[in-house]
Amino acid sequence: MGGTDDLSLFEQGIEAHLETVRAMRRHLPLLKRMADRLLEALDGGGRIYVCGNGGSAADAQHIAAELLGRFKRDRKALPAIALTTDTSVLTAVVNDLGAEAVFRRQVEGLVGERDVLWLLSVSGASPNVLAAADAGRDCGATVVAFTSSRGAALADRADLCFMADAADSDRVQEMHELGYHLICDYIERAVSDE
C-alpha cells in the first residue's frame, strides 16, 4: 500500500470539481426559486422536511441543522426536520413495512400542504425517496429535490429540481452541498432582515 508522489490524481479531482462548479452558475435562478419557495412555506407557518439515503441522509441532517440552528447569523430558529434521524421510527417502519416505506410513512404522518419536502438522491432512483416524493405530492406539499444529471425519475416527481451537472457521486454531492449552503445563506439573510 505504498503511496505515490504523483499529484495528478488530486489535480484531476480539483479540475473536475471546478468544472462542475462553473457549470452550476446556470442553476442559480433555480436555486433562488427554491429558496424563495422555502421562505414562502416558512412565512406561511410551514415546515421543511428533508430526507435522503447514505451521504444524502447526512446532507439532509446538515440542512436541517443549518436551518434549525444557525448558518452564519444569530436569528430565530426555523422549523426544519430531517426524516433520517429517529432510529425507532426508521427501524420499526423498515421491519414492519419495508425499506421502501421508510420516508413515505413519515411524510404521510407529518407533512402537510403548507410544508416543503426536500429530497436528496444522487441517483434520483432510490425507491424510498421516490415513494416519499409521491406521498409529498399526495398531501399537497411542495416537493423540491437535489439529484444528478441521471436523476430524471426524481425530477419528474418534484415541483423544483436541481440536477447537478455530473454523474459521479462525489461531484454531485459537492454540488449539492454548495447548492444548499447558498439556499441556507439566502434564507438566513432574509429572516435576519425581518
Instruction: Read off the pLDDT of residues 98-123 as tens digits, 9 standing for 90 and up.
Output: 999 999 999 999 999 999 999 999 99
Instruction: Give the model's pLDDT for residue 22.
Output: 94
pLDDT cut 70: percent of the chain above it: 97
Nearest CA to 128 out of 152, 110, 107 is that of 107
Q: What are the backbone angles phi and psi of residue 119, rounded to the nearest 5°?
A: -110, 140
**pTM flag (> 0.85):** yes
Q: Where are the alpha helices (DSSP H) in the chain?
A: 8-24, 28-43, 55-68, 87-97, 104-110, 127-138, 152-155, 169-192
Residue boundaries of the structural domains of the chain: 27-192
- Written as one letter, the residue type at 98 is G
Q: Who wins on pLDDT, 70 or 2? A: 70
How large is the average pLDDT for residues 87-103? 97
pLDDT, tens digit, 9 for 90 and up, residues 40-87: 999 999 999 999 999 999 999 999 999 999 999 999 999 999 999 999
Give domain 27-192's CATH number out of 3.40.50.10490, 3.40.220.10, 3.40.1710.10, 3.40.50.12280: 3.40.50.10490
Q: Check if the beta carbon of residue 129 is closer than 8 Å to that of residue 119.
A: yes
> Is the CA virtual torsion 159, 157, 180, 167 positive or negative?
negative
Amino acid at 77: A
